[in-house]
Structure 1
């Protein structure tokens, strides 16, 4: 009887020791991973990429029977402030929207951006006989008579980060340049627009 009681007491004790051992190991692993991440961050000190729309123009603008023809040119400056992180832009698509309607889109050649580098990204978008909604057509006609139109410019890219010999997996980067004013008069100065990055 006493032997059975002793065995029953030992089993919960062993179970408790096993749980404590597993818990201690997990906590130790979490601490080690946290320290590794902290050390990597302190060494690399990653900074946010900066994007600015520095030029935009519109040519050959024509509205006829609810259809639009136009050529839109934009220049985006991409700044990588990091001292140890480079960026691969493997795929880039640009588009311009007016309200809820996409006016034009195009694909830009991929490129590699070294650390502490500013890259010039040029995009030409052509709206060719684009069917407009009645409201968009009416509003564009009003804005054309005022001498300028306001659009949003979007860039979508598949990017990879490079640190030393390590390369990350692809991530989707979205850049939005909102409320971009395009003038029909060539002598009016383009207002530089800071763009928002959405990873």
Structure 2
């Protein structure tokens, strides 16, 4: 009587050994996760990262003209970026600044890349421009009403690609989003601008 062929590639794993193998794999995965979490915790405790702080310190508008629902204007804003971290510096590789009214982007500008040291305050002067920007009838109407009151409430948005630096280590790129609202721009230069604090997400 012919014998039955044996398994290819050696002896199969017995049913008794399978639970032990699965248990070893699970334990290995758990230990790896715990080790990575421990390293992250140690790094976090050593670095103590803090959220960046952004404010709009000043805002002006020039050449404001709203004709046939098309807006022309140039804005001047001073943004203050505060890095409160004592061990983390930042590289801003690209920065876009937009101005919105009633959720409609009406002007934008770009800022040159720069490095922000640890525990540093950097002021950015941005000059977004609106050039014949078409507005819907309702948006144009609301803007005219605000103009007649002497103040326009805007939103200033910052979107940047940043990298963090701790010692000699640099992170990969992250997207920083800053949202400042309401930014009250005075059309009467004798009226004082009020600082606006921004929401920061990175």
**TM-score (normalised: structure 1):** 0.91
Moved more, 42-51 or 14-23: 14-23
Tell me which residue corresponds to 1:118: 121
Q: Which of 135, 141, 144 is the matching residue for 1:141?
A: 144
Establish whether residue 87 from structure 1 lines up as the match of residue 90 from structure 2: yes
Residues 5-44 of structure 1 mapped to structure 2, 5 A cutoff: 11-44=14-47
Unaligned runs of 5+ in 2: 1-12
Cα RMSD after superposing both structures = 1.3
Superposed, 1:41-190 pairs within 5 Å as: 41-190=44-193
The whole-number CA distance in structure 1 between the counterparts of 2:14 and 2:26 is 18
Alpha-carbon separation, structure 2, partners of 1:23 and 1:127: 59
Q: Distance in 2 between matches of 1:180 and 1:194?
A: 9
Give unpaired runs (5+ residues) of structure 1.
1-9
CA distance in 2, matches of 1:12, 1:65: 81
Name the structure with the higher helix share. 1
Which of 48-57 and 127-136 deviates more?
A: 127-136
Q: Residue 162 of structure 1: SS of its match in structure 2?
A: strand
Alpha-carbon distance between aligned partners in 1 of 2:151 and 2:199, rounded to the nearest angstrom: 23
